[in-house]
Amino acid sequence: MSNHQNRRPQPQQKGKKTRQKVQPRAPRGSGAKRAADVIVSLALVAVVGAGGWRFYQNMQPIAQEGDHLAVGLVTEPLTEAPTEPSVIYQNIAVSNDDIHKGSLILVNYDTAYEEFDAAEIVSIYEHKTENYHVSGTETSIRQPAMDALNEMLDAFYVATGHSDIIVISGYRTKEQQQALYDEDLEQTGASSSTRVALPGHSEHESGYSLDVSLYEDGVQYDYDGTGEYAWIDKNCANYGYILRYTEDKTDVTEIQAEPWHYRYVGEPHASYIMSNNVCLEEYLTLLKNYDNETPLRIINWDGEIYEVYYVPADGASDTTYVLVPPDKEYTISGNNSDGFIVTVDTGEIQKFEETQEESSEEEPADTDKPEENTDNAGQDTGA
Ligand SMILES: [Zn+2]
């Protein structure tokens, strides 16, 4: 979507509080998203993939009549002014296989990656801009992470003048991860590795992660995210990226601090994770407290308000019915273990003049945290 790029801060606005400076945008998403445009089955990541947050457009009308409907479904295109469209929820059937797909999948020591949509893996060398380097033509990443990487490192270059970031690792096959693992055991003489993830359990296998170094005059230097490079930790959430492994979360992630490793989770999740200093494991656990009636409201860095909620997979079936608001933009991602996360773009912009008393009493108490903690968005740990 073209408006995606408009959400980026101007280069001069580097650092904190870019949200407050963003002009409210016109409400979007009314015309194209009609109640009749409902998914039956999802190709989740393919949809999320080709260009970021995109509404599922290639859909078929749902055939069932009224089953699991929360409110009466509008089956005709809305040519008249819609009446209270925000209360309409539509149940869509999602294959339980899709638990393992999407930009919020957790891949860690306990949860292995299950391959999906390999066509989405693209060569960084072939798609990157000129403002950074990549270590080889075969280094690759998943498409949505690719687009966001370009935007992030272009903005980093504009803000700092640095074009010496080099992506040294992206997507890895299980075989490549095995080779790295074996190499580490050889070097350390140990029977298991604390530095390299088990094959099948590396986030790199998902295609959503990358490692960076610095590269200048043919020499490669370690990247630690300090100095002017701290811009990336402060701003990566604006592009859907998080610093994945920090020093203070090693007991949860079971991975040492890695200031060079970034993970794409998409907006607005990255804003919440970075602003509230939770790791992905903690965030996905937190989301289980929210359903469609009491979603987690996240104010994205640009003021856009999202509603996020968890839908547990139906263990008694191959399919899970997921309640979604068909009149709004939404995406669905699996969590790679037991359910789905629905992310709804409400189309509302946070009005910063408003007082907090105007917040709905239905909102959980901590939903304003991202706003309050804007100044803490940067991560200084693990440097
Ligand atoms: Zn890494």
Residue 141 lies in a domain: yes
Residue 201 lies in a domain: no
Residue 40 is part of which domain span? 3-171+207-376
Mark whether 354 is an active-site residue: no
Give the pLDDT score at 6: 41
Residue 188 lies in a domain: no
Which residue out of 120, 203, 205, 258 is catalytically annotated? 258
Q: What is the CATH number of the domain that holds 165?
A: 3.30.1380.10
Residue 185 lies in a domain: no
DSSP line for 10-28: PGGG-STTHHHHSPPPPP-
Q: Say how many C-beta atoms besides its own lie within 10 A of residue 302's C-beta.
A: 23
Give the pLDDT score at 193: 86
Q: For the segment 120-141, what is each residue's pLDDT rounded down to a tens digit?
A: 999 999 999 999 999 999 999 9
Q: Are 34 and 326 in contact (CB under 8 A)?
A: yes
Half-sphere exposure of 357 (CA within 13 A, CB side): 0
Name the domain count of the chain: 1
Which value, in Å, is the radius of gyration of the alpha carbons in the chain? 21
Residue 198 lies in a domain: no
Q: Where would I find the beta strands (DSSP E) of 33-118? A: 90-95
DSSP line for 95-138: EGGGGG-STT---SSSS------GGGEEEHHHH--TTSEES-TT
Q: Are 266 and 47 in contact (CB under 8 A)?
A: no
Ligand 1 centre distance from Cα of residue 45 (Å): 22
Amino acid identity for residue 24 in this structure:
P
Give the pLDDT score at 87: 56
Q: Are 322 and 68 in contact (CB under 8 A)?
A: no
- Rounded to whole angstroms, how far apart are CA atoms 181 and 190? 11
Ligand 1 centre distance from Cα of residue 259 (Å): 9
Ligand 1 centre distance from Cα of residue 195 (Å): 10
Q: Are 305 and 313 in contact (CB under 8 A)?
A: no
Rounded alpha-carbon distances, angstroms, from residue 136 to 140, 169, 196, 214, 241: 9, 9, 21, 14, 22
pTM metric for this prediction: 0.72
Residue 178 lies in a domain: no
- Rounded to whole angstroms, how far apart are CA atoms 304 and 298? 8
DSSP line for 259-313: EEEEEE--TTHHHHHHHHT--HHHHHHHHTT--SSSPEEEE-TTSEEEEEEEEE-
Residue 127 lies in a domain: yes
Give the pLDDT score at 351: 79
ω into residue 268 within 30 of 0, thus cis?
yes
* Angle of CA points 191, 194, 200, to nearest 5°: 85
- For the chain, list residues with pLDDT below 70: 1-87, 352-383
- Rounded to whole angstroms, how far apart are CA atoms 232 and 250? 21
Give the pLDDT score at 18: 37
Give the pLDDT score at 194: 77
Rounded alpha-carbon distances, angstroms, from residue 337 to 221, 281, 287: 37, 11, 13
Ligand 1 centre distance from Cα of residue 209 (Å): 7
Give the pLDDT score at 66: 34
Give the pLDDT score at 20: 34
Ligand 1 centre distance from Cα of residue 203 (Å): 7
Residue 363 lies in a domain: yes
